């Protein structure tokens, strides 16, 4: 029988999908089920799936935010994780820290990172990516204050961001999650305001797709988008804005790239246990996971 992996997402059910893959001699069914921002529905669904599937991914929410080597648990996410007593529940952070960090090095032949201007709207969501970009010599604008808190404070120093995160994350992670990140129908809303100008500065915009899309300006000529969790509709959205290329850090299956939480749950299901960083790196090599590059100008 095929293994089954389900992503329970606080995002829109419009983006639900199912795909079946065969990896390392195992058939795995990958499913994404959105709850339209309904936290109680997500809790109930995880409880319903517990013990009936091989792994559960948390979509549209992180279990942890990171700064340096420290992690800070998001209170609402821990409630979701505890709803399952038998089935492992993961949020994709382990894979983000390994797969996305590697992607920066693997893309060096395509993107000359040194002095390339990169907009990363949320570094605490993807600290491994943030560190890798800084190490590669990119000029990174860390947009945590701008996009999460609505404050016009661009940060260009990762070490300074880290110090601020040490102070603020213990408090922010205790807030209701919808105050930190759009859920349900809010993910579908676009906001073109003063924040959009930071896209015009960047050569590459990277990170969470919902953040990127929410504030994206009408024109994106010459821009590269580095993200995941994109559908065929999202590809059309980027083409219409003239973006140069789309790079996803997770594979495209059935016309879409699944989120890191789905892919992490997939690896946990294959292994039959929760994994550490070395395990993720080994599976990345075994499965040959590499950045997927789509030239939007040619595809047009």
* Residue 100 covered by a domain: yes
Residue 54 predicted with pLDDT over 60 = yes
Tell me, what's the pLDDT at 136? Answer: 97
Q: If you search the block for the tokens 């994780």, which residue do you land on? A: 81
Look at residue 141 in the predicted model and tell me its pLDDT.
97
- Residue 299: pLDDT band with limits 50, 70, 90: low
Residue 84 in domain: no
Determine how many CB atoms are found less than 10 A away from the CB of residue 243: 23
pLDDT tens-place string over residues 223-255: 999 998 888 899 999 999 999 999 998 877 766
Residue with tokens 């329970």: 8
> CA of 48: how far to CAs of 52, 85, 86, 119, 236, in Å?
8, 11, 11, 39, 35
How many domains does one find in the chain?
1
Mean pLDDT of the chain: 90
What b-and-e string marks burial along 54-84, b requiring 16 or more CB atoms within 10 Å of the CB?
bbbbbbbbbbbbbbeeebbbbebbeebbebb
CATH number, domain of 124, equals 3.40.50
Residue 28 in domain: no
Residue 254 has a pLDDT of: 63
Among 199, 192, 255, 207, smallest CA distance to 223 is for 199
Q: Is the pLDDT of residue 300 over 60?
A: no
Determine the pLDDT at residue 288.
86
| Cβ pair 227, 208 in contact under 8 A | yes
Among 27-36, 164-173, 199-208, the least confident range? 164-173
Parent domain of 147: 96-252+292-299
Please name the residue that has the structure tokens 């089954």: 4
With respect to residue 45, please indicate whether it lies within any of the assigned structural domains. Answer: no
Q: Is residue 65 part of a domain?
A: no
Does the pTM exceed 0.85? yes
Residue 143 lies in a domain: yes
Residue 213 falls inside a structural domain: yes
Q: Model confidence at 65, in pLDDT bands (50, 70, 90)?
A: confident
Taking only the tens place, the pLDDT of each residue in 146-189 is: 988 889 999 999 999 889 889 988 998 998 887 777 676 766 77
């Amino acid at each position: 029988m095929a293994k089954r992996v389900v992503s329970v997402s606080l995002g829109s059910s419009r983006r639900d999908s199912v795909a079946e893959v065969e990896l390392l001699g195992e058939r795995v069914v990958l499913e994404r089920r959105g709850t339209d921002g309904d936290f109680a529905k997500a809790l109930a669904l995880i409880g319903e799936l517990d013990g009936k599937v091989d792994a559960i991914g948390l979509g549209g929410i992180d279990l942890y935010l990171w700064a340096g080597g420290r992690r800070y648990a998001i209170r609402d996410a821990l409630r979701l994780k505890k709803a399952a007593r038998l089935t492992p529940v993961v949020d994709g952070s382990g894979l983000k820290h390994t797969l996305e960090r590697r992607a920066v090095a693997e893309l060096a032949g395509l993107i000359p990172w040194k002095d390339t201007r990169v907009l990363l709207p949320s570094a605490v969501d993807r600290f491994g990516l943030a560190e890798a970009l800084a190490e590669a010599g990119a000029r990174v604008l860390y947009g945590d204050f701008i996009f999460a808190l609505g404050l016009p404070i661009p940060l260009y120093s990762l070490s300074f961001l880290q110090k601020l995160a040490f102070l603020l994350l213990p408090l922010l992670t205790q807030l209701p999650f919808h105050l930190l990140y759009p859920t349900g129908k809010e993910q579908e809303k676009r906001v073109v305001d003063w924040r959009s100008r930071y896209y015009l500065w960047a050569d590459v915009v990277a990170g969470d797709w919902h953040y990127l899309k929410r504030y994206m300006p009408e024109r994106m000529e010459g821009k590269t988008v580095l993200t995941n969790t994109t559908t065929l509709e999202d590809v059309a959205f980027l083409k219409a804005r003239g973006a140069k290329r789309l790079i996803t850090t997770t594979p495209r299956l059935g016309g879409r790239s699944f989120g890191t939480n789905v892919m992490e749950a997939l690896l946990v299901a294959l292994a039959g246990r929760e994994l550490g960083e070395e395990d993720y790196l080994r599976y990345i090599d075994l499965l040959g996971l590499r950045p997927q590059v789509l030239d939007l100008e040619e595809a047009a």
